[in-house]
């Protein structure tokens, strides 16, 4: 289902059929973590809680275990998830699940922890290795139930059909896409994001913005997804700076809402060149996903601009740029300028070289990027030499 962007105040409305399904039950609001036991109760009584060392050190893991309360008979914890999580980490989580005789998983953290929980849920039911499920539609049936608890406002993994796991041997980030990896429920409590350091707030917030922008401008047709994406851009434009500067709960709340909305959108449309390129950066240089997206976003937006003269002006307006009286080209350029300015305000580096990326890796990273389905829906038609050029410009 692909459609061209049209002259409309928000989204394209050609006469094409589309489907919208949001089977993940989302419980959203400050304090809802206290209702976690009620949410998990229909799915089992012996959860494996999957998390990372930072979440454990912040006391959030203990808070989650406490919130399960009388709804569980036994809790097993696995807090070994790293950024850009590996196949080996998923395998250790599966071992912990089986060792504890668990019957559901609770993923607590950013996208990495939730992705490990989602992938482990597949393996404990269907067996095999992560590599067996690489691609779209390879999971043969329902996985073990997962309840997701995001502690960052960025990835939106709590509502997506994707899980991304790094194959260290190949230096490649694999995507597994299936409705069977969707969490059954998501408990989205913005109070759990209050302890995020400013740098993590910035990177994960830019991840959410990248999801929203790439979903909104790509060629996939889905008017509900496009509307959710544009509103997510508006929320990020309003809330990310105060979330970064003050960490106040109202801004945190809007950022978590933006993250979830953007993910609900892009899981139905895919993304674009930024994500095709950021996954190789994570695999080759272990750069956190949100940070890679943030650095790449303005460079890719500038390159895509000539294909986005209708959509970028709406993004500029959503990001708070005055566009009245501007030509379409000037208004489109204002969107790119707004993203560059936001990156600067958040202390995001301008170039990949500042993250330790070296030019010798570009050919291999370009090859990996071209394997991504995200390239196929990028608004400007993209060849391998274009990806090489974009890496060189961003470097």
pLDDT exceeds cutoff 50 at 6:
no
Are residues 260 and 379 both part of a single domain?
A: yes
pLDDT exceeds cutoff 60 at 2:
no
Q: Do the strands 146-150 and 185-188 form a parallel or antiparallel pair, or are they unpaired?
A: parallel
Phi, psi angles (nearest 5°) of residue 170: -90, -5
Residue 109 lies in a domain: yes
Q: What average pLDDT score do residues 73-102 get? A: 96
pLDDT exceeds cutoff 60 at 10:
no
Are residues 276 and 338 both part of a single domain?
A: yes
| pLDDT reported for residue 16 | 72
Q: Place 3 in a pLDDT band, splitting at 50, 70 and 90.
A: very low
Are residues 205 and 342 both part of a single domain?
A: yes
Are residues 209 and 155 both part of a single domain?
A: no
pLDDT exceeds cutoff 70 at 276:
yes
pLDDT exceeds cutoff 50 at 342:
yes
Contact (Cβ atoms closer than 8 angstroms) between residue 175 and residue 135? yes
CATH number, position 117: 3.40.50.1970
Q: How many residues in the chain?
A: 395
Q: What is the pLDDT of residues 116-174, one digit of tens each?
A: 999 999 999 999 999 999 999 999 999 999 999 999 999 999 999 999 999 998 888 88
Query: Nearest-CA neighbor of 184 among 23, 19, 21?
Result: 23
Residue 19 lies in a domain: no
Q: What average pLDDT score do residues 217-246 get? A: 96
Q: What percent of the chain has pLDDT over 90?
A: 91
Residue 24 lies in a domain: no
Q: Place 15 in a pLDDT band, splitting at 50, 70 and 90.
A: low
Residue 1 lies in a domain: no
Are residues 219 and 303 both part of a single domain?
A: yes
Q: What average pLDDT score do residues 76-90 get? A: 95
pLDDT exceeds cutoff 70 at 12:
no
Q: What average pLDDT score do residues 50-58 get? A: 95
Please tell me the distance from the alpha carbon of residue 206 to that of residue 214, in angstroms, as a whole number: 12
Are residues 281 and 177 both part of a single domain?
A: no
Please tell me the distance from the alpha carbon of residue 33 to that of residue 36, in angstroms, as a whole number: 5
| pLDDT reported for residue 41 | 96
Q: What percent of the chain has pLDDT over 70?
A: 96
Roughly what angle, to the nearest 10 degrees, separates helices 328-345 and 223-245?
40
Residue 146 lies in a domain: yes
pTM for the structure as a whole: 0.92
More confident call, 188 vs 23: 188
User: How many domains are contained in the chain?
Assistant: 2
pLDDT exceeds cutoff 70 at 285:
yes
Are residues 365 and 236 both part of a single domain?
A: yes
Are residues 238 and 166 both part of a single domain?
A: no
CATH number, position 283: 1.20.1090.10
| pLDDT reported for residue 368 | 95
Q: Place 7 in a pLDDT band, splitting at 50, 70 and 90.
A: very low
| pLDDT reported for residue 19 | 77
Are residues 133 and 274 both part of a single domain?
A: no
Domain with 390, as residue range(s), is: 198-394
């Amino acid at each position: 289902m692909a459609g061209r962007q049209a002259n409309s105040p928000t989204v394209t409305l050609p006469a094409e059929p589309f489907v919208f399904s949001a089977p993940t039950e989302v419980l959203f609001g400050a304090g809802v973590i206290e209702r976690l036991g009620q949410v998990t109760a229909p799915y089992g009584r012996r959860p494996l809680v999957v998390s990372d060392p930072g979440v454990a050190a912040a006391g959030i893991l203990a808070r989650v275990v406490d919130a399960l309360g009388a709804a569980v008979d036994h809790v097993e914890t696995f807090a070994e998830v790293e950024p850009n999580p590996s196949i080996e980490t998923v395998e250790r989580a599966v071992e912990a699940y089986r060792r504890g005789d668990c019957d559901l998983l609770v993923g607590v953290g950013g996208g990495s922890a939730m992705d490990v929980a989602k992938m482990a849920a597949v393996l404990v039911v269907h067996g095999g290795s992560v590599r067996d499920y690489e691609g779209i539609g390879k999971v043969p049936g329902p996985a073990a139930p997962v309840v997701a608890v995001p502690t960052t406002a960025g990835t939106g993994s709590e509502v997506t059909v994707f899980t991304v796991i790094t194959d260290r041997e190949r230096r490649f980030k694999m995507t597994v896409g299936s409705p069977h990896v969707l969490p059954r429920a998501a408990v989205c409590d913005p109070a759990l994001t209050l302890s995020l350091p400013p740098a993590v707030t910035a990177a994960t917030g830019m991840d959410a913005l990248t999801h929203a922008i790439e979903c909104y401008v790509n060629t996939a047709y889905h008017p509900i997804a496009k509307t959710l994406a544009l509103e997510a851009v508006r929320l990020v434009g309003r809330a990310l700076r105060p979330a970064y500067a003050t960490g106040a709960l109202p801004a945190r709340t809007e950022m978590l809402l933006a993250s979830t909305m953007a993910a609900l959108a892009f899981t139905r449309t895919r993304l674009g060149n930024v994500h095709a390129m950021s996954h190789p950066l994570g695999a080759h240089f272990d750069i956190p996903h949100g940070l890679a997206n943030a650095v790449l976003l303005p460079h890719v937006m500038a390159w895509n601009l000539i294909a986005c003269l209708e959509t970028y002006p709406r993004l500029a307006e959503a990001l708070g740029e005055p566009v009245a009286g501007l030509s379409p080209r000037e208004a489109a350029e204002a969107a790119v300028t707004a993203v560059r300015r936001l990156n600067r305000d958040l202390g995001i580096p301008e170039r990949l070289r500042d993250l330790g990326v070296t030019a010798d890796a570009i050919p291999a990273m370009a090859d990996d990027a071209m394997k991504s389905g995200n390239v196929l829906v990028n608004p400007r038609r993209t060849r391998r030499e274009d990806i090489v050029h974009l890496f060189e410009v961003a470097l």
